[in-house]
Amino acid sequence: MKNSLDRLMDADDSEPLVDELDRRIIQATQAGLPLDVRPYHALAEALEVAVDVVMARLSSMRERGIIRRIAAVPNHYALGYKVNGMSVWDVPDDSVARLGKQVGALDFVSHCYQRPRHLPVWPYNLFAMVHGQTREAVEDQVGEIAALLEGCNRGHEVLYSTRILKKTGLRISK
Amino acid sequence: MDALDCRLVNLLQDGIDITAQPYMAVAGQLGISEEQVVQRVGQLLDDGYLSRFGPMYDAEKMGGAFSLCAMQIPADELEKTAETVNAFDEVAHNYLREHALNMWFVIATEHADHLPVVLQQIEQKTGYPVYNMPKLEEYYIGLRFEAGATQ
């Protein structure tokens, strides 16, 4: 029988963390997976680790959410989604959870988060990223968000991206 | 990028399995060989249609931290400051946006307690304040782009 302290310790132990081999796998794949019809074999060979072990580690990291998925990340500019607008909204804190879920459910919103204000420089607490071919398309979408927020919208702006200065994805240090 | 590439990009955004031959399913769906799938992925990466192909890691689930940060940089200081900020390995991506706060970047650190250190170092090296805007709640994250939908 486990007492409550043991259960607490177990809860701590179950925190998903990475060990040395996980780290080596992350370092070897953070720029991408080897281009090979058997990519996990190629990875195992490069790491000098058995392929079963590499696949088990990747599966474990995926189960624990450390790996969201193993997938292609498209360059949305190259795919024609040339306009990327970060719409930011000042809504009452006691309504932000309800409103955030409604805005996040709109099919053109790719990310939706609550973030802290930095008054007086930055009054906005709700962020919704929208993408489109043209500014007009993005502005129509922002209009839909404004209509949804109605009286709760105390102000908003759309920050258009004009240049990608860096895009590398996550890197962990050696 | 042809019609087959579009279908390939759309299928590969959903992810591949962790199996000995993970492209077998996609190759079957598209009626091409696994070698052709890999060759096309390589070409899409070379041509810049894909930024990346591989595991998408979540820094927070590893015990790390992730945050969106903004800075206000005068136009004539922009290139130099961008270079300084981008030189940090922890800066995952960085966008220039039309606003007084014009530089927006994401920081990912492997250990949560390292994030404030990086913020401080960026402030020291650039001489400008960093506004830290970590997510307080995530309502939706489903980034996905239909290739071929905008033609």
| Chain A residues close to B126, C-beta within 8 Å | none
ipTM, 2 dp: 0.75
Strand partners, A167: B93
| Residue numbers of the domain that contains B25 | 3-46
Q: Model confidence over A37-71: pLDDT tens digits?
A: 999 999 999 999 999 999 999 999 999 999 999 99
CA of A32, closest CA in chain B: separation in Å?
Answer: 4
Average pLDDT rounded to a whole number, residues B50-59? 90
CATH number for position B115: 3.30.70.3460
Percent of chain B at pLDDT exceeding 70:
92
Question: pLDDT value at position B151?
Answer: 43
Q: What is the domain count for chain A?
A: 2
Test A79 with B147 for CB contact under 8 angstroms: yes
Same domain, A145 and A116: yes
CATH number for position A26: 1.10.10
CA of A152, closest CA in chain B: separation in Å?
Answer: 17
Same domain, B66 and B126: yes
Test A74 with B147 for CB contact under 8 angstroms: yes
| Residue numbers of the domain that contains A128 | 83-160
CATH number for position A105: 3.30.70.3460
CA distance A2 to A8: 10
Does the structure show a pLDDT above 50 at B142? yes
Which residues make Cβ contacts (< 8 Å) with residue B6, sequence separation at least 6?
Answer: B147, B148
| B87 belongs to a structural domain | yes
Burial B48-65 (b: 16+ CB within 10 A, else e): ebbbbbbbbbbbbbbbbb
Of the listed ranges A9-13, A142-146, B104-108, the one predicted with least confidence: A9-13
| Chain A residues close to B54, C-beta within 8 Å | 29-33, 70
Average pLDDT rounded to a whole number, residues B66-86? 96
Q: What is the domain count for chain B?
A: 2
Q: Which two tokens stand for residue B30?
A: 């598209």
Question: pLDDT value at position B92?
Answer: 86
* A10 or A121: which leads in pLDDT: A121
| B54 belongs to a structural domain | no
Q: Model confidence over A88-123: pLDDT tens digits?
A: 999 999 999 999 999 998 878 888 999 999 999 999
Same domain, B127 and B69: yes
| A16 belongs to a structural domain | yes
| Chain A residues close to B19, C-beta within 8 Å | 55
The bridge status of strand A83-89 relative to strand A156-167 is: antiparallel
CA of B94, closest CA in chain A: separation in Å?
Answer: 5
Which chain A residue's Cα is nearest to B137?
Answer: A114
Q: Which DSSP symbol is given to A11?
A: H
| Chain A residues close to B21, C-beta within 8 Å | 37-38
Same domain, B128 and B64: yes
CA of B11, closest CA in chain A: separation in Å?
Answer: 9
Strand partners, A118: A122
Same domain, B31 and B74: no
Same domain, B64 and B127: yes
